[in-house]
Structure 1
Amino acid sequence: MALFSKLFGKSEPTMPEAEQHEGFSITPQSVKEGGQYRLTALIEKDGKSHMLIRADHFASADEANAAAVAKAKMLIDQLGDGLF
Protein backbone atom coordinates (compact mmCIF):
# COMPACT_ATOMS: atom_id res chain seq x y z
CA MET A 1 0.00 0.00 0.00
CA ALA A 2 2.82 2.44 0.84
CA LEU A 3 4.35 1.85 -2.59
CA PHE A 4 1.15 2.97 -4.33
CA SER A 5 0.90 6.00 -2.06
CA LYS A 6 4.39 7.09 -3.04
CA LEU A 7 3.74 6.49 -6.72
CA PHE A 8 0.42 8.27 -6.88
CA GLY A 9 0.94 10.94 -4.21
CA LYS A 10 -1.90 9.78 -1.99
CA SER A 11 0.04 9.67 1.26
CA GLU A 12 -1.40 11.72 4.11
CA PRO A 13 1.10 13.97 5.90
CA THR A 14 1.43 13.33 9.59
CA MET A 15 -0.11 15.98 11.83
CA PRO A 16 2.57 17.68 13.93
CA GLU A 17 2.32 17.57 17.70
CA ALA A 18 1.31 20.62 19.70
CA GLU A 19 4.15 22.54 21.32
CA GLN A 20 3.89 24.44 24.62
CA HIS A 21 5.17 28.00 25.07
CA GLU A 22 4.46 30.33 28.02
CA GLY A 23 1.28 28.41 28.88
CA PHE A 24 -0.01 28.45 25.29
CA SER A 25 -0.41 25.44 23.03
CA ILE A 26 0.83 25.88 19.45
CA THR A 27 -0.27 23.36 16.82
CA PRO A 28 1.26 23.99 13.38
CA GLN A 29 -1.19 23.19 10.57
CA SER A 30 0.46 23.98 7.25
CA VAL A 31 -1.97 24.21 4.34
CA LYS A 32 -1.01 22.98 0.88
CA GLU A 33 -1.69 25.55 -1.83
CA GLY A 34 -0.53 24.66 -5.29
CA GLY A 35 2.94 23.18 -4.91
CA GLN A 36 3.74 25.05 -1.70
CA TYR A 37 2.63 25.17 1.94
CA ARG A 38 1.14 28.20 3.72
CA LEU A 39 2.25 29.08 7.26
CA THR A 40 -0.71 28.34 9.55
CA ALA A 41 -0.97 27.47 13.25
CA LEU A 42 -3.60 27.12 15.95
CA ILE A 43 -2.74 28.91 19.22
CA GLU A 44 -4.78 27.92 22.29
CA LYS A 45 -4.95 28.76 25.99
CA ASP A 46 -7.68 28.28 28.60
CA GLY A 47 -10.35 27.30 26.06
CA LYS A 48 -9.63 30.27 23.80
CA SER A 49 -8.10 29.88 20.37
CA HIS A 50 -6.54 32.00 17.66
CA MET A 51 -5.82 30.81 14.12
CA LEU A 52 -2.54 32.26 12.85
CA ILE A 53 -2.56 32.48 9.04
CA ARG A 54 0.25 34.20 7.18
CA ALA A 55 0.89 34.84 3.50
CA ASP A 56 4.29 33.12 3.76
CA HIS A 57 4.75 30.02 1.57
CA PHE A 58 7.36 27.25 1.89
CA ALA A 59 8.51 24.34 -0.27
CA SER A 60 7.71 21.69 2.36
CA ALA A 61 5.19 21.17 5.15
CA ASP A 62 8.03 20.71 7.66
CA GLU A 63 9.50 24.11 6.79
CA ALA A 64 6.09 25.78 7.03
CA ASN A 65 5.37 24.11 10.38
CA ALA A 66 8.74 25.11 11.86
CA ALA A 67 8.23 28.71 10.74
CA ALA A 68 4.67 28.68 12.12
CA VAL A 69 5.88 27.64 15.57
CA ALA A 70 8.59 30.33 15.52
CA LYS A 71 6.10 33.01 14.41
CA ALA A 72 3.52 31.90 16.99
CA LYS A 73 6.12 32.08 19.79
CA MET A 74 7.07 35.59 18.71
CA LEU A 75 3.40 36.62 18.66
CA ILE A 76 2.83 35.13 22.13
CA ASP A 77 5.90 36.91 23.50
CA GLN A 78 4.69 40.23 22.07
CA LEU A 79 0.95 40.04 22.83
CA GLY A 80 0.48 37.39 25.53
CA ASP A 81 -3.20 37.05 26.47
CA GLY A 82 -3.96 40.12 24.34
CA LEU A 83 -3.83 37.74 21.40
CA PHE A 84 -7.44 36.73 22.07
Structure 2
Amino acid sequence: MSLFSKLFGGVEKSKPDPVTYKGFEIFPDLMAEGSKFRLMARIEKTIDGDRKTHTVIRADVFDTRDQAESFSIAKAKQVIDEQGDSIFS
Protein backbone atom coordinates (compact mmCIF):
# COMPACT_ATOMS: atom_id res chain seq x y z
CA MET A 1 0.00 0.00 0.00
CA SER A 2 1.39 3.37 -0.96
CA LEU A 3 2.03 6.16 1.51
CA PHE A 4 -0.66 8.22 -0.26
CA SER A 5 -3.23 5.45 0.35
CA LYS A 6 -2.18 5.04 3.96
CA LEU A 7 -2.57 8.76 4.64
CA PHE A 8 -5.78 9.44 2.76
CA GLY A 9 -7.56 6.15 2.25
CA GLY A 10 -8.17 4.46 -1.07
CA VAL A 11 -8.99 6.16 -4.33
CA GLU A 12 -12.16 4.87 -5.90
CA LYS A 13 -11.73 4.83 -9.66
CA SER A 14 -14.70 6.15 -11.55
CA LYS A 15 -16.94 4.21 -13.83
CA PRO A 16 -15.46 3.71 -17.29
CA ASP A 17 -17.57 6.38 -19.05
CA PRO A 18 -15.98 9.81 -18.51
CA VAL A 19 -17.76 13.14 -18.74
CA THR A 20 -16.63 14.90 -21.91
CA TYR A 21 -16.21 18.67 -21.62
CA LYS A 22 -14.57 20.96 -24.21
CA GLY A 23 -12.46 18.11 -25.61
CA PHE A 24 -11.33 16.92 -22.17
CA GLU A 25 -12.44 13.76 -20.38
CA ILE A 26 -13.30 14.03 -16.69
CA PHE A 27 -13.19 11.03 -14.37
CA PRO A 28 -14.54 11.65 -10.84
CA ASP A 29 -12.06 9.40 -8.99
CA LEU A 30 -13.15 9.85 -5.40
CA MET A 31 -10.98 9.44 -2.34
CA ALA A 32 -12.71 7.54 0.46
CA GLU A 33 -12.08 8.88 3.96
CA GLY A 34 -13.93 6.70 6.39
CA SER A 35 -17.60 7.05 5.49
CA LYS A 36 -17.04 10.28 3.54
CA PHE A 37 -15.61 11.08 0.10
CA ARG A 38 -12.98 13.70 -0.74
CA LEU A 39 -13.35 15.69 -3.97
CA MET A 40 -10.98 14.30 -6.58
CA ALA A 41 -11.11 14.23 -10.37
CA ARG A 42 -8.80 13.10 -13.14
CA ILE A 43 -8.75 15.23 -16.30
CA GLU A 44 -7.40 13.65 -19.48
CA LYS A 45 -6.88 14.76 -23.06
CA THR A 46 -4.94 13.50 -26.06
CA ILE A 47 -2.69 16.23 -27.45
CA ASP A 48 -0.56 15.55 -30.55
CA GLY A 49 -1.08 11.81 -30.05
CA ASP A 50 0.11 11.92 -26.44
CA ARG A 51 -2.34 11.18 -23.58
CA LYS A 52 -2.06 13.84 -20.86
CA THR A 53 -3.46 13.53 -17.32
CA HIS A 54 -4.00 16.05 -14.54
CA THR A 55 -5.47 15.25 -11.11
CA VAL A 56 -7.53 17.71 -9.07
CA ILE A 57 -7.70 17.05 -5.31
CA ARG A 58 -9.48 19.39 -2.90
CA ALA A 59 -10.00 19.47 0.85
CA ASP A 60 -13.78 19.29 0.40
CA VAL A 61 -15.42 16.13 1.76
CA PHE A 62 -18.97 14.96 1.16
CA ASP A 63 -21.34 12.55 2.90
CA THR A 64 -22.45 10.76 -0.26
CA ARG A 65 -20.73 9.42 -3.34
CA ASP A 66 -23.21 11.22 -5.62
CA GLN A 67 -22.48 14.60 -4.02
CA ALA A 68 -18.73 14.05 -4.30
CA GLU A 69 -18.99 12.98 -7.97
CA SER A 70 -21.14 15.97 -8.85
CA PHE A 71 -18.83 18.49 -7.18
CA SER A 72 -15.71 16.75 -8.57
CA ILE A 73 -17.03 17.13 -12.11
CA ALA A 74 -18.00 20.76 -11.49
CA LYS A 75 -14.55 21.59 -10.06
CA ALA A 76 -12.80 19.86 -12.99
CA LYS A 77 -14.90 21.91 -15.44
CA GLN A 78 -13.90 25.08 -13.58
CA VAL A 79 -10.21 24.14 -13.82
CA ILE A 80 -10.61 23.46 -17.56
CA ASP A 81 -12.37 26.82 -18.07
CA GLU A 82 -9.65 28.69 -16.17
CA GLN A 83 -6.54 26.91 -17.44
CA GLY A 84 -7.36 24.97 -20.61
CA ASP A 85 -4.49 22.89 -22.00
CA SER A 86 -2.00 24.65 -19.71
CA ILE A 87 -3.04 22.31 -16.85
CA PHE A 88 -0.73 19.76 -18.46
CA SER A 89 2.33 22.06 -18.40
- The reply to whether TM is greater than 0.5 is yes
Q: For residue 22 of structure 2, what is the aligned residue in structure 1?
A: 22
Larger radius of gyration: 1
Cα distance change, pair 57–19 in 1 and its aligned pair in 2 (3 A): same
Give the TM-score of the pair, scaled to structure 2. 0.75
Q: Say how many residue pairs are matched.
A: 72
Structure 1 residues not aligned, in runs of 5+:
1-12
Q: For residue 33 of structure 2, what is the aligned residue in structure 1?
A: 33
Whichever structure has more strand as a proportion of its residues is 2
Shift of 1:15: 3.5
Structure 2 residues not aligned, in runs of 5+:
1-11
Q: For residue 56 of structure 1, what is the aligned residue in structure 2?
A: 60
Give the TM-score of the pair, scaled to structure 1. 0.79
Q: For residue 81 of structure 1, what is the aligned residue in structure 2?
A: 85
Q: For residue 65 of structure 1, what is the aligned residue in structure 2?
A: 69
Q: Structure 1 segments of 4 or more deviating over 4 A?
A: none
1 CA distance for matches of 2:13 and 2:79? 25
2 CA distance for matches of 1:18 and 1:61? 16
Cα shift readout 1:38-63 (whole Å, capped 9, x = no counterpart): 00111001100001111100001110
RMSD: 1.6
Identity of aligned residues (%): 42
